[in-house]
Homo-oligomer: A and B are copies of this chain.
Amino acid sequence: MAVKKFRELDEALVRQKEAAFADFIQKQGLKTTRQRNTIISTFFRMRGHISVEELLNQVKQANPRIGYATVYRTLHLLVDSGLVEERRFGDGLARYEGHSDVEHHDHMICLECGEIFEFFNPRLEALQESLAEENDFQIFRHRLELYGACKDKDACQRRKSRTGAAAAEE
């Protein structure tokens, strides 16, 4: 199957990432703090494409005193460390995901229910590469997003009336 909605939560993998982040912090001469630990542990245990607000809400359950600034700052560190990627699907807010198994993947976004599907196709990747080469362009990274309607759930494909999530994202 090319698409899967969410990767499963692997506790060992989470620990491995926490360790990798600790490593990064040390190598950068930064300090280990209670707040950062709380934030990254929380983050790596959440699934999906997580907004700052979503993360903060979750973080506050462990430590209500942690504020936006620290969450933003820690997310930047996570991105810098290479453990997390920032995404923007056009609804105005940054979303973050710790890419686990799949190094790179692209997204299908259902405009009706808001669901996000991930996929990866080598031919698609290769084709981009060859197109770039044709034009002497060297790709560092790319983003491919398919917006539309998934067939899942409550018949997203039937209500194309621009209501719900579709209207919300404008």
Give the B-binding residues of A (Cβ under 8 A): 2-3, 88, 90, 108, 110-111, 117, 119, 121, 123-124, 127-128, 131-132, 134-152, 157
Contacts and interface: CB of A to CB of B under 8 A. Distances in A.
A150 B128 contact: no
Contact of A143 (B124, B132, B144): B144
B143 A148 contact: no
Indicate how many identical chains form the complex: 2
B142 A128 contact: no
A9 B80 CA distance: 42
Nearest to A121: B131
A34 to B, nearest CB: 28
A148 B140 contact: yes
A56 B141 CA distance: 32
A19 to B, nearest CB: 27
B121 A127 contact: yes
A149 B144 contact: no
Contacts of A90: 88
18 contacts: A3-B135, A88-B88, A108-B137, A110-B137, A111-B140, A117-B135, A119-B131, A119-B135, A121-B127, A124-B124, A137-B151, A138-B149, A138-B157, A140-B148, A141-B148, A142-B144, A142-B146, A143-B144
A75 to B, nearest CB: 14
A124 B135 contact: no
Contacts of A88: 88, 90
A25 B147 CA distance: 28
